């Protein structure tokens, strides 16, 4: 919060800051946010982002449902989430102001483009009167600039149309914000020149707008609240870093996993669905890494093609969001019955049914663990951050190929789009787990199990003398032939269950991410809520409370010590972005009195929400 | 379909049979189809380990269990999708999809449409018995209006789909029809289908002895066959009847076929002519039912084009370079 103006324009220091850029879906807010993120990263700060865009591709301009926002939390320490409350809101029009202002801290700064506050725009946003002219914003520091005119002046020498000039407003704002935090513009200039390589005039104009915004901060007639800040660098492990989204992490992790397993090809089959399509797009560009992508006619065909590819000896991967995963369910059952590797990535979104496609939720846990006909266990993993998406994808490949099983990876719409800094691993340091295809006909049958893993052999069609038939019909334990024998079915059902349960012996023991391994309260989470839970537990511990954070990456099977660990706590709290799913699995599995902290608003947890819940318990 | 160049001329039809007991109803037309496929395999010298039979669900879908090749009995209607995945992973495999009228045209109709339009290099063999056999006799999408079944006690009020017309409409580039009882004809058609590059679609009229017995008797019956079937051959006149005395010609001034005594205006079959194939596929009584290769006009297969695209699935890309693409920054110790 700005409390004073320091003479001589010295910069104030802030440990961390939350900025939200908000405007029309055509105002380029995502681009502005991404470029600010990159400059933040290059300056050495830690960060966490939250892009929040509408479902409509181009909603009518000026409307509240067309508001697109990008939030970034950056700073030297404790940046574990995109931030609860906003320090600085950039609102490009009245609709953005009315939608986003509720998240601005009291005393926070709001930057507005006064030219956008026309009667027409005010009315579309539902304002009876102009909020810039009454006391609506009295609790905040309001910086009113005619960004439209300032941008138009800056780009004038480049001869743009007024519409083209208008589209440069976001760069002016970016320039101002970069000045506010003392960041460079080099990467943004580079990006603009690359993006508009074929339209050099547009590139120049955008650069001019960017520079003008920056210069405005540097030289403008001092307004009382326009202050420059310094945000410290993060104290992180030395190494080479980049930004990574969950989608990139998953795509690259799959490629790394393919290599680790020594498999020649990865066949990725998908069907367009929000927010999972980005993975198909990313992998479609990785042909040089052994990836074949296939846009199937529907979700079922996508799962089928992936399974067919695995049957033929490639790594079959399919991906979707909740409703699409539901369609793939029968095929996943076939993968379980025929014991073939298959990776299924679920970018969860709010539901049921179509629900809220662009809003994140963690409500497919039951679907992943339990949602099939009959006794049909498989492995379920959940990445805890965008960076972890890379590692979890590799782990999914390892488990799928070693245990000949489908593996479901539960990402979500938030992880898919959010970006964080990532220490780039070197290929030489990545794990290796080469697969062995069966070629020896001696004593072969297709369901002959490895005594240690209970996995059946993987045979590539094309291998001489190993011709065999598999399918969805129950098969004999000892020969692999079709069998309707009662005892055999019981034996096979148990074998399938034991195989998945046995994975628990091949994954790390569960540890507390923060705090002791016993005590008054364990806060247990999974998936993308890691940051919010971690920070809340940190705050509560700083307040002297006996609380630990346990985050479960392996959801089926659970780590073999999880029950014992939970039982060492007096109480267990399970915050989840669903109506209480992990909490029920934990209660069912371990008979622990776990309590639920559900959140189903389509928005990630705030740290304060979890911290408050902890305070009520310990 | 295929790209197979290695053959195994040493094998007899029985070598393509698995050790499993065949469990179709006694008298089922599927036995004849199994026999024809095994004979065609032997004639073509197919290499067993490079051959994969994929099926969905239904009586026809039991087929892979009875072959000594690789086989995958999958889920209802989805065999084309799984077969597509197999071909994407390994285009060198010789893949057959064995399906039925319910599996291929009802629950799996969508996949059939897309596998045909994509032109995946597969042999798709559709056993059409106009009934759901394995679920005990409900009407199917190819059942004629009025078909009485447990689910249509008053007779079906739905219009049937013509398998071959559907395939042509979907963009199939090889469409043929045969009959379970026409053993020699069926074997020839299967071999033609196999030789075709791209998706080959073969409809086999197959008698379900239990739930729909003699449903094709008006086409296949000894007394009527000569007049009720027209065996089409590329470049040959479209004639039928006991003495080939009847021919098909274009009705003057209309885009329609009509039956007339064989003469100079009798059409020659041109299997590369799609409109003609569509007319032939649609023929139904009182016209003769067209048998043989109705359409054959090959082009490159889907998986060929997938791998022909630039940079296709090489697998040797530099992973470190990928992970370091775009902006990176160093954090010193």
Q: What pTM, to 2 d.p., does this model score?
A: 0.94
What digits encode the pLDDT tens for the residues A145-172?
Answer: 999 999 999 999 999 999 999 999 999 9
Distance of residue B24 Cα from the nearest chain A Cα, in angstroms: 15
The answer to whether the Cβ–Cβ distance between A291 and B48 falls below 8 Å is no
Residue A99's Cβ-count burial label (10 Å; 0-12, 13-18, 19+) is: buried
Residue A7 pLDDT more than 60?
no
In B, residues 293-312, which contact A (CB 8 Å cutoff)? 306, 309-312
Residue B5 pLDDT more than 90?
no
Contacts of A476 in chain B (CB under 8 A): none
* Closest chain B residue to the Cα of A330, Cα to Cα: B75
Q: Pick B331's closest partner by Cβ from A44, A259, A460.
A: A44
Strands, sheet with A104-113, edge to edge from the N-terminal-most edge strand = A46-52, A67-75, A16-24, A86-91, A104-113, A141-145
Residue A5 pLDDT more than 60?
no
Q: Pick B313's closest partner by Cβ from A292, A298, A426.
A: A292
Mean pLDDT of A352-367: 95
pLDDT for the residue numbered A26: 87
Count CB neighbours of A286 within 10 A.
22
DSSP letter for each residue of A206-243: HHHHHHHHHHHHHHSPPPTT---EE-PPP---SEEEEE
Count CB neighbours of B18 within 10 A.
17
Q: Are strands B174-179 and B200-205 parallel, antiparallel or unpaired?
A: parallel
* Closest chain B residue to the Cα of A242, Cα to Cα: B328
Q: Are A421 and A46 in contact (CB under 8 A)?
A: yes
Residue A617 pLDDT more than 80?
yes
Q: Are A389 and A411 in contact (CB under 8 A)?
A: yes
Contacts of A236 in chain B (CB under 8 A): 331
Q: Are A304 and B74 in contact (CB under 8 A)?
A: yes
Residue A298's Cβ-count burial label (10 Å; 0-12, 13-18, 19+) is: middle
Q: For the stretch B234-246, what's the b/e string if a residue is b when 16 or more beta carbons lie within 10 angstroms of its beta carbon?
A: eeebbbbeeeeeb
Mean pLDDT of A454-467: 98
Nearest to A530 by CA among A430, A389, A343, A400: A389
In A, residues 337-356, which contact B (CB 8 Å cutoff)? 338
Distance of residue A499 Cα from the nearest chain B Cα, in angstroms: 22
Radius of gyration of chain B (CA): 22
Contacts of B80 in chain A (CB under 8 A): 301
Please tell me if residue A163 touches chain B, with a CB cutoff of 8 Å. no
Contacts of A195 in chain B (CB under 8 A): none
* CA trace torsion A303, A308, A310, A314 (10° rounding): -110
Q: Spell out the residues 6+ positions from residue B168 whose beta carbon is closer than 8 angstroms to its own.
A: B175, B274, B277, B278, B281, B294, B295
Residue A442's Cβ-count burial label (10 Å; 0-12, 13-18, 19+) is: exposed
Task: Give, rounded to a whole angstrom, the gap between the first and last alpha carbons of chain B.
Answer: 61
pLDDT for the residue numbered B314: 74
The answer to whether the Cβ–Cβ distance between A288 and B316 falls below 8 Å is yes
Q: Spell out the residues 6+ positions from residue B122 whose beta carbon is closer than 8 angstroms to its own.
A: B1, B80, B83, B84, B87, B95, B96, B97, B115, B199, B200
Strands (E), chain B: 51-55, 70-73, 94-100, 123-128, 131-132, 138-139, 174-179, 200-205, 229-232, 239-240, 246-250, 257-261, 289-296, 329-331
pLDDT for the residue numbered A220: 74
* Closest chain A residue to the Cα of B329, Cα to Cα: A241
Contacts of A331 in chain B (CB under 8 A): 75, 78
Residue A87 pLDDT more than 80?
yes
**CA–CA gap between residue B315 and residue A259 (Å, rounded):** 9
Selected residue of A35, A243, A305 to mutate for chain B interface (largest B Cβ count, 10 A) = A305
pLDDT for the residue numbered A3: 36
pLDDT for the residue numbered A4: 36
What digits encode the pLDDT tens for the residues B46-78?
Answer: 999 999 999 999 999 999 999 999 999 999 999
Nearest to A41 by CA among A425, A531, A422: A422
Mean pLDDT of B145-163: 97
Q: Pick B81's closest partner by Cβ from A240, A308, A469.
A: A308
**CA–CA gap between residue A372 and residue A599 (Å, rounded):** 25
Which DSSP state fits B72?
E
Q: Are A23 and A92 in contact (CB under 8 A)?
A: yes
A314 vs A265, A292, B40, B56, B90, CA distance in Å?
5, 10, 30, 21, 8
In B, residues 95-154, which contact A (CB 8 Å cutoff)? 110-111, 113-114
Mean pLDDT of A316-321: 98
Q: For the stretch B60-69, what's the b/e string if a residue is b when 16 or more beta carbons lie within 10 angstroms of its beta carbon?
A: bbbbbbbbbb
Q: Pick A265's closest partner by Cβ from B73, B313, B320.
A: B313
Residue B247 pLDDT more than 50?
yes
Distance of residue B23 Cα from the nearest chain A Cα, in angstroms: 12
Distance of residue B291 Cα from the nearest chain A Cα, in angstroms: 31
Half-sphere exposure of residue A80, counting CA atoms within 13 Å on the CB side? 18
In A, residues 501-530, which contact B (CB 8 Å cutoff)? none
* Closest chain A residue to the Cα of B116, Cα to Cα: A297
Nearest to A355 by CA among A468, A295, A275: A275
Give the 3-state secondary structure of residue B165: helix
Residue B315 pLDDT more than 90?
no
Please tell me if residue B72 touches chain A, with a CB cutoff of 8 Å. yes
Per-residue pLDDT band at B99 (split at 50, 70, 90): very high
What digits encode the pLDDT tens for the residues A19-30?
Answer: 999 999 889 999
pLDDT for the residue numbered A1: 35
Tell how far CA A541 is from the center of its chain. 27
Mean pLDDT of A117-126: 96
Mean pLDDT of A91-97: 97
Percent of chain B residues topping a pLDDT of 70:
97
What digits encode the pLDDT tens for the residues A159-216?
Answer: 999 999 999 999 999 999 999 999 999 999 999 999 999 999 999 999 999 999 999 9
Average pLDDT, chain A: 95
Radius of gyration of chain A (CA): 27
The maximal CA–CA distance of chain A, rounded, in angstroms, is: 88
pLDDT for the residue numbered B4: 47
**CA–CA gap between residue B113 and residue A571 (Å, rounded):** 56
Mean pLDDT of A24-40: 94
Please tell me if residue B5 touches chain A, with a CB cutoff of 8 Å. no
The strand pairing partners of B295, in sequence order, are: B175
Mean pLDDT of B140-168: 97
Please tell me if residue A261 touches chain B, with a CB cutoff of 8 Å. no
Contacts of B333 in chain A (CB under 8 A): 238
Percent of chain A residues topping a pLDDT of 90:
91
Mean pLDDT of A536-559: 98
What digits encode the pLDDT tens for the residues A297-310?
Answer: 999 999 999 999 99
**CA–CA gap between residue A22 and residue A14 (Å, rounded):** 22
* Closest chain B residue to the Cα of A459, Cα to Cα: B70
What digits encode the pLDDT tens for the residues A362-397?
Answer: 999 999 999 999 999 999 999 999 999 999 999 999
Contacts of A425 in chain B (CB under 8 A): 323
In B, residues 223-242, which contact A (CB 8 Å cutoff)? none
What digits encode the pLDDT tens for the residues A240-253?
Answer: 999 999 999 999 99
**CA–CA gap between residue B211 and residue B199 (Å, rounded):** 31
The answer to whether the Cβ–Cβ distance between A482 and B20 falls below 8 Å is yes
**CA–CA gap between residue B204 and residue B100 (Å, rounded):** 9
Q: Are A546 and A495 in contact (CB under 8 A)?
A: no
Percent of chain A residues topping a pLDDT of 70:
98
Residue A587 pLDDT more than 90?
yes
Q: Are A36 and A19 in contact (CB under 8 A)?
A: yes
pLDDT for the residue numbered A9: 59
Mean pLDDT of A339-362: 96
């Amino acid at each position: 919060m700005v409390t004073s103006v320091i003479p001589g324009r010295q910069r104030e220091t802030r440990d961390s800051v939350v900025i939200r850029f908000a405007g029309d879906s055509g105002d380029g807010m995502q681009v502005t946010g991404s470029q600010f993120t990159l400059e933040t990263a290059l300056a050495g700060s830690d960060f966490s982002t939250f892009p929040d865009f509408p479902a409509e591709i181009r909603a009518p301009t000026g409307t509240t449902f067309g508001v697109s926002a990008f939030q970034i939390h950056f700073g030297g320490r404790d940046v574990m989430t995109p931030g609860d409350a906003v320090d600085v809101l950039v609102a490009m029009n009245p609709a953005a102001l009315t939608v986003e202002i509720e998240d601005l801290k009291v005393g926070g700064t709001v930057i507005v483009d006064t030219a956008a506050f026309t009667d027409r725009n005010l009315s579309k946003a539902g304002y009876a009167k102009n909020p810039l002219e009454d006391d609506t914003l009295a609790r905040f520091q309001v910086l009113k600039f005619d960004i439209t005119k300032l941008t138009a002046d800056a780009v004038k020498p480049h001869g743009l149309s007024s519409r083209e000039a208008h589209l440069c407003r976001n760069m002016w704002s970016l320039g101002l914000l970069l000045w506010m935090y003392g960041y460079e513009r080099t990467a943004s200039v580079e990006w603009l020149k690359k993006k508009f390589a074929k339209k050099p005039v547009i590139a120049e104009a955008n650069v001019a707008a960017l520079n003008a915004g920056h210069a405005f901060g540097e030289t403008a007639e001092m307004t009382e609240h326009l202050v420059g800040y310094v945000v410290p660098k993060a104290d992180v492990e030395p190494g080479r870093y980049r930004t990574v989204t969950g989608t990139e992490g998953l795509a690259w992790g799959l490629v790394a996993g393919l290599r680790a397993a020594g498999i020649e090809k990865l066949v990725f089959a998908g069907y367009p669905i929000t927010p999972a399509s980005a993975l198909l797009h990313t992998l479609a560009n990785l042909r040089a890494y052994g990836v074949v992508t296939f846009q199937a006619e529907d979700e079922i065909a996508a799962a089928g093609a992936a399974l067919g590819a695995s049957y033929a000896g490639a790594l079959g991967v399919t991906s979707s969001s909740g409703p699409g995963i539901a369609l793939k369910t029968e095929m996943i059952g076939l993968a379980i019955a025929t014991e073939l590797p298959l990776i299924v990535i679920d970018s969860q979104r709010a539901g049921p049914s179509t629900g809220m496609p662009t809003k994140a939720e963690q409500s497919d846990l039951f679907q992943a663990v339990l949602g099939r006909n009959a006794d049909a266990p498989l492995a379920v993993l959940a990445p805890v951050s965008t960076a972890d998406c890379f590692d979890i994808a590799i782990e999914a490949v390892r488990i799928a190929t070693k245990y000949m099983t489908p593996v479901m990876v539960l990402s979500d719409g938030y992880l898919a789009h959010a970006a964080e800094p990532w220490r780039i691993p070197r290929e030489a340091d990545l794990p290796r787990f080469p697969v062995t295809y069966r070629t020896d006909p001696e004593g072969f049958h297709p369901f002959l199990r490895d005594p240690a893993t209970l996995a059946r052999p993987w045979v590539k069609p094309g291998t001489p003398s190993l011709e065999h038939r598999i399918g969805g019909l129950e098969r004999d334990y000892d020969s692999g032939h079709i069998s309707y024998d009662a005892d055999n079915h019981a034996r096979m059902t148990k074998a399938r269950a034991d195989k998945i349960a046995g994975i628990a012996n091949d994954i790390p023991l569960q540890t507390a991410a923060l705090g002791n391994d016993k005590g008054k309260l364990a806060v247990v989470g999974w998936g993308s809520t890691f940051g919010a839970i971690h920070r809340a537990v940190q705050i509560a511990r700083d307040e002297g409370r006996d609380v630990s954070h346990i985050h479960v990456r392996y959801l089926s099977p659970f780590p073999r010590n999880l029950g014992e660990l939970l039982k060492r706590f007096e109480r267990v709290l399970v915050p989840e972005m669903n109506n209480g799913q992990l909490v029920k699995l934990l209660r069912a599995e371990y008979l622990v009195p776990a309590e639920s902290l559900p959140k189903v608003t389509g928005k990630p947890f705030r740290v304060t929400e979890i911290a408050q819940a902890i305070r009520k318990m310990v | 379909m295929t790209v197979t160049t290695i053959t195994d001329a040493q094998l007899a039809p029985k070598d393509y049979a698995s050790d499993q007991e065949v469990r179709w109803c006694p008298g089922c037309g599927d036995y004849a189809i199994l026999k024809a496929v095994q004979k065609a395999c032997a004639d073509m010298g197919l290499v067993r380990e490079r051959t994969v039979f994929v099926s969905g669900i239904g009586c026809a879908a039991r087929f892979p269990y009875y072959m000594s090749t690789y086989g995958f009995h999958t889920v209802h209607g989805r065999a084309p999708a799984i077969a597509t995945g197999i071909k994407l992973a390994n285009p060198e495999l010789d893949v057959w999809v064995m399906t039925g009228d319910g599996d291929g045209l009802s629950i799996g109709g969508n996949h059939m449409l897309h596998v045909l339009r994509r032109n995946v290099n597969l042999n798709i063999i559709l056993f059409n018995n106009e009934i759901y056999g394995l679920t005990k006799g409900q009407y199917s999408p190819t059942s004629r209006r009025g078909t009485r079944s447990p689910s249509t006690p008053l007779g079906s009020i739905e219009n049937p789909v013509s398998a071959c017309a559907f395939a042509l409409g979907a963009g199939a580039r090889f469409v043929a029809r045969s009959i379970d009882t026409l053993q020699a004809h069926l074997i020839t058609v299967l071999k033609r289908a196999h030789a075709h590059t791209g998706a080959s679609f073969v409809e086999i009229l197959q008698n379900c002895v239990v739930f729909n017995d003699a449903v094709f008797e008006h086409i296949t019956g000894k007394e009527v066959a000569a007049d009720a079937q027209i065996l089409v051959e590329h470049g040959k006149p479209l004639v039928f009847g006991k003495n080939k005395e009847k021919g098909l010609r274009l009705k003057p001034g209309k885009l329609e076929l009509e039956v007339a005594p064989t003469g100079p205006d009798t059409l020659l079959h041109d299997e590369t002519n799609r409109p003609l194939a569509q007319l032939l596929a649609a023929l139904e009584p009182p016209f003769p039912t067209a048998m043989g290769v109705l359409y054959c006009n090959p082009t490159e297969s889907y998986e060929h084009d997938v791998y022909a695209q630039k940079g296709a699935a090489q697998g040797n890309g530099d992973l470190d370079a990928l992970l370091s693409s775009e902006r990176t920054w160093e954090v010193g110790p």
